[in-house]
Structure 1
Amino acid sequence: MDNGGGSSEAAAQPLEWKFSQVFGERTAGEEVQEVDIISAIEFDKSGDHLATGDRGGRVVLFERTDTRDNGGQQRDLEMMDYSMSRHPEFRYKTEFQSHEPEFDYLKSLEIEEKINKIRWCQSANSALYLLSTNDKTIKLWKVQEKKVKKVFDWNVHPEKAAGNGPIFGSHVSAIPKSFMANGGCGERNFGCASNDSSFPPGGVSSLRLPVVVVLNLIFFFPTSIAIIVLVINCRHNVTSQETNLVAGCRRIYAHAHDYHINSISNNSDGETFISADDLRINLWNLEISNQSFNIVDVKPANMEDLTEVITSAEFHPTHCNMLAYSSSKGSIRLIDMRQSALCDTHSKLFEEQEAPGSRSFFTEIIASISDIKFARNGRHILSRDYMTLKLWDINMDSGPVATFQVHEHLRPKLCDLYENDSIFDKFECCLSGDGGRVATGSYSNLFRVFGCSEGSAESTTLEASKNPMRRQVQTPSRPSRPLGSLSGVVRRVKGADNSALDANGNAFDFSMKLLHLAWHPSENSIACAASNSLYMYYA
């Protein structure tokens, strides 16, 4: 699947991944606080901004710095040499507290502040907009620059000022040598002490305050009595000294979900978005926070008849009337909102049939889809279950067009993984901008990159560290099959490795799990979250 304009032969070449940056790196033996663990990550549509959310309810924004216009011939030369010498570089921009812990008194339920998902909205007037959600409440945030005005031109030196705080401002003049004759520090002279050597013993002859200028003189005659209003302003001593980034909550979309929100997704129309919990999907208008429309409801009349729940939902990238959602049974449903107001009936169903005799106690658990993503062109859907990545063509519902083994080496360990609840971990997935590669996370802070272009057998395992190739594992990939000549379902291929060890004989650490990662929308750059650290790589 080569949508980037390059040849399939070039796309089939494995990428050489290199370390780019790390934010919040842990030192050896440092204990990580639970609230600092990253729980969501998302690039904006341009790739110039990156947002992360953590379990403490905070959202941290990063901005790209290597694309700034330097002007002149140097800029042109840099652009010509961009692919060889430059790669995406980001810096910390700002952060804000998005959600706070709450308590539902009606249900006696604590609501965590953990950020489940972040989605960028269209920017406007140099301001950034994004949606963030915890289990119950979605918020729309606006981040913009604001100039802060401060008073300056005091004639008292900050070190000689009375009181505990300094005088604000950067422009000060020297304190006069002559002081007032009666300006000593007596009992009635508040703000200084007689034994304070930092204040002039004779006082200050004069204190220059901000200049008050009369701007206008207005007369009102409500009852034949002239009321003079002086409109004044401080000028000449008030200046804009710095620009601050301010995050403001513009909308709060609450009280629409009885169960935990697992997904939010923006529509291509720029006006609406969806939110999904275990049993329902709601449609919102960005401008209306007190009303939403329930478009999918899988809740049975009797909860004892419940057999599956919604695990993830996402809008089609270009068709505003289409969306897809996945279930705990391993199926993906494509729905068209033009068919009916309540979209309980799907237009297409994507699921893989079980092999005869393969069913076990763990079959349904490992088949549950934890994440789905549309390719940028909208033709394919990538899904992640516990064991595999699967690529689906929306025009072919007979089965996935490609299957990538991620955790096949853990199949003999399913009992242990069930005992320590690791089997319920929800790993995310992502696609490159051209659709030629896919990626997902694993244990021991490892993540996998697979090539899905025609003829590609790329399968790379990397570690979230400054040396990503340190623990590279060479594992067999699924058979390569051109996407243009598919007539059936790609068979599952069991790897030869039946132990939970990597190629160097190191045991996988199930407490170190790389659940969240994102691919830059237009370049081969991946951002991944390992505990409280954000690692970035490029190829």
Structure 2
Amino acid sequence: MCEMAGNGDIQWCFSQVKGTLEDDVTEADIISCVEFNHDGDLLATGDKGGRVVIFQRDPISKNSIPRRGEYNVYSTFQSHEPEFDYLKSLEIEEKINKIRWLKRKNPAHFLLSTNDKTIKLWKVSERDKRVEGYNTKEENGSIRDPACITSLRVPSIKPMELMVEASPRRIFANAHTYHINSISVNSDQETYLSADDLRINLWHLEITDQSFNIVDIKPTNMEELTEVITAAEFHPAECNVLVYSSSKGTIRLCDMRSAALCDQHSKLFEEQEDPTNRSFFSEIISSISDVKLSHSGRYMISRDYLSVKVWDLQMETRPIECYPVHEYLRSKLCSLYENDCIFDKFECCWSGNDSAIMTGSYNNFFRVFDRTTKRDLTLEAARDIAKPKTLLKPRKVSTGGKRKKDEITVDCLDFNRKILHTAWHPSENVVAVAATNNLFLFQDKL
């Protein structure tokens, strides 16, 4: 469990920030996804420019006592390029929507990355030795004339400076009519799913030219369309179970053993709306932007515009916990609708032991909810705390009446600075928070 301070709150401190802390940010540098690998030694980010940057845990920080959560750049590569669909006259952005790591089976690392249309499987490997003394080619790589080869020599392996190479091993394309919003690797580590607005496809990692459509919610007449798929994920242990969320605020659990097409869900998780809270914005703010199953596989969290809900997979009627993220924005929904912020898609994540939840908000605030003590914390990813071991001060938003010294009023919040993407280390209290073009790393104060 997280280290507690005297006042009962988790004490977090600044560890690192990656990226330049300048005001002029290019669109391509904005981080669009963050993902730790299974042991937390690597951390990948994707950006709107189609690049993937992988950070590696600093060995000294990992083995120091107390441990520190410090990462260095390990590899950077261009994963996707902008494309043009000539049939539909549509530009396909290079922006990386999601990254998912595969479990490690050999010295190399594998990850899936996707933009709106194409999924790629990347192999990231190290090379610190080179072969010298080839018979058929020169050291510069040019082929030798066979007539000049008079004797045979045994090539030798020499040490060289460490090189990290990223190479695309598979490209899974042409299977989605709509924009891909999710990919999820199955627990069997052989198959994965990809979801767009209306369909979910099942792929085998070795087969690029065919996928199986396992969910299709597209109506015969598109005028009858009432909802779209917003996120999808496989169960962490049961390879036949998956969940997907919708813009109507529902989550469906499907069992692939029951039928080849999972249009008939096994369970439907939905909370009935309180009629007294009904407004013009009800449908928009109830849309689920992210769903994540817990590491144990017993629970799942869903993020809608104003809250995070915890569901027990054994109980469909209502969530077992509900945490308001920024309830003070309920009175501001009209202006948030006008500036399109109401359509922002915030993600959420579990701590390694499922005892806490993290999600983002505006003004570069992010929220941590402790499920055991029911305490919550608002923290800010800000430049002025960018000194190692600086303690993060809890932030408070004043919701009317007299504003206290440390509080910020709702009207002073910056809606252009938002934390949409967060990730939590699988076994330690180290969190990664994407704030525009910067990646902040925080850890609990030991």
Matched, 1:20 2:15: yes
Find 1:503's aligned residue among 407, 419, 423: 407
Instruction: Identify which of 346, 352, 355 aligns with 1:433.
Output: 352
Q: Equivalent of 2:73, from 83, 92, 95?
A: 92
CA contact (8 A) 2:131 2:155 kept: no
SS of equivalent residue, structure 1 residue 427: coil
Q: Which residue of 2 aligns with 1:514?
A: 419
Taking the aligned partners of 1:444 and 1:228, their CA distance within structure 2 comes to 70
| Cα offsets for 1:95-147 (capped at 9, x unmatched) | 10000000000110000000000000122321010000000000000010124
Measured against aligned partners, the alpha-carbon deviations of 1:302-340 in whole angstroms (never above 9, x if no partner) come to 001110000000000011110100000000001100000
Alignment of 1:100-499 (within 5 A): 100-147=81-128, 149=130, 230=150, 232=152, 239-453=158-372, 456-465=373-382, 467=385, 472-474=394-396
Partner amino acid, structure 1, of 2:395: V
CA distance in 2, matches of 1:451, 1:528: 18
Partner residue in 1 for 2:55: 62
Give deviations 1:238-290, integer Å, cap 9, x for gaps.
95432211110000000000000000000000100000000000000000011
Report the AA paired with residue 504 of structure 1.
Answer: I
Query: 2:142 aligns to what?
Result: none
1:50 partnered with 2:31: no
- Specify the code of the residue in structure 1 equivalent to 2:407: A
Q: Which amino acid aligns with 2:211?
A: S
Matched position secondary structure for 1:290: coil
Is 1:535 the counterpart of 2:436? The answer is no
Structure 1's 473 and 13: CA in aligned 2 closer, same or farther, altered over 3 A?
A: same
The residue type equivalent to 2:263 in the other structure is D
In the TM superposition, residue 524 of structure 1 has moved relative to its aligned partner by 1.1
Unaligned stretches of 5+ in structure 1? 70-74, 153-208, 211-217, 219-226, 476-494
Whole-angstrom CA distance in 2 between matches of 1:435 and 1:147: 39
Indicate if the aligned counterparts of 2:198 and 2:217 stay in contact, CA closer than 8 A: yes
Q: Is the alpha carbon distance of 1:341 and 1:500 closer, same or farther for their aligned partners in structure 2, counting shifts above 3 Å? A: farther
Q: Determine helix, strand or coil for the equivalent of 2:354.
A: coil
Name the CA distance, whole Å, in 2 between partners of 1:125 and 1:457.
41
Inter-partner Cα distance in structure 2 for 1:534 and 1:498: 35
Q: CA separation in 2, counterparts of 1:470 and 1:44?
A: 26
Q: Give the Cα separation in 2 of the matches to 1:325 and 1:406.
A: 22
Q: In the aligned structure 2, how far is the partner of 1:327 from the partner of 1:252?
A: 27
Instruction: Note the alpha carbon deviations across 1:150-173, whole angstroms, 9 max, x for none.
Output: 989xxxxxxxxxxxxxxxxxxxxx
8 Å Cα contact 2:11/2:391 also seen in 1: no
Measure, in 1, the Cα distance between the counterparts of 2:351 and 2:119. Answer: 28
Structure 1 residues 304 and 129, CA gap change in structure 2 (3 angstroms): same
SS at 2:334's partner residue?
A: helix
Give the aligned partner of residue 25 of structure 2.
32
Classify the secondary structure of the residue corresponding to 2:223. helix
For residues 510 and 231 of structure 1, the distance between their equivalents in structure 2, rounded to whole angstroms, comes to: 72
C-alpha separation in 1, matches of 2:71 and 2:57: 4
Alignment check: 8 A CA contact 1:256 1:292 kept = yes
Cα deviation code 1:470-523 (max 9, x no counterpart): 663347xxxxxxxxxxxxxxxxxxx96599998234711001111000011111
Partners of 1:470 and 1:88 lie apart in 2 by 15
TM-score for the superposition, normalised by structure 1: 0.74
In 2, the alpha carbon distance for the partners of 1:341 and 1:498 equals 57
For 2:57 and 2:362, the matched residues in 1 are separated by 29
Q: Using a 3 Å threshold, how does the CA distance of structure 1 residues 361 and 149 change in structure 2: closer, same or farther?
A: same
CA distance in 2, matches of 1:87, 1:249: 32
Contact 2:61 2:69 in 1 (8 A): no
Amino acid aligned to 2:358: A
- Higher normalized strand content (fraction of residues): 2
C-alpha contact (below 8 Å) 1:41/1:517 kept by paired residues: yes
The CA distance in 2 between the partners of 1:496 and 1:504, in whole Å, is: 9
Indicate how the Cα distance of structure 1 residues 287 and 67 shifts in structure 2: closer, same or farther if over 3 A, else same.
Answer: farther
Distance in 1 between residues matched to 2:59 and 2:222, nearest whole Å: 54
User: What amino acid is the match of 1:503?
Assistant: E
Counterpart secondary structure, 1:19 = strand
| Identical pairs, percent | 55
Q: Which amino acid aligns with 1:472?
A: P
Task: Give me the whole-angstrom Cα distance separating, in 1, the residues matched to 2:95 and 2:314.
Answer: 37
| Counterpart code for 2:13 | K
Separation in 2 of the partners of 1:332 and 1:374? 12
Verify the 8 A CA contact 1:316 1:378 in the aligned structure 2: yes
Please provide the CA RMSD for this pair: 2.9
Q: In structure 2, what is the Cα distance between the partners aligned to 1:325 and 1:340?
A: 16
In structure 1, distance between residues paired with 2:400 and 2:319: 24
| Aligned partners of 1:463 and 1:469 also within 8 Å | no
In structure 2, what is the Cα distance between the partners aligned to 1:31 and 1:383? 34
**Counterpart-to-counterpart distance in 1, 2:295 and 2:400:** 34
Alpha-carbon offset, residue 14 of structure 1: 2.3
Which whole-Å CA distance do the structure 2 matches of 1:273 and 1:498 have between them?
51
Mark the CA change 1:338 to 1:452 in structure 2 (over 3 Å): closer, same or farther. same
User: Can you list the C-alpha shifts for 1:425-477, whole angstroms capped at 9, x where unaligned?
Assistant: 00000011111110100111110001112xx13111101125286663347xx
Cα distance in 2 for residues equivalent to 1:331 and 1:500:
38
Q: Which sections of structure 2, spanning at least 5 residues, go unmatched?
A: 140-145
| Contact kept in structure 1, 2:11 and 2:392, CA below 8 Å | no
Counterpart Cα distance in 1 of 2:241 and 2:34: 24
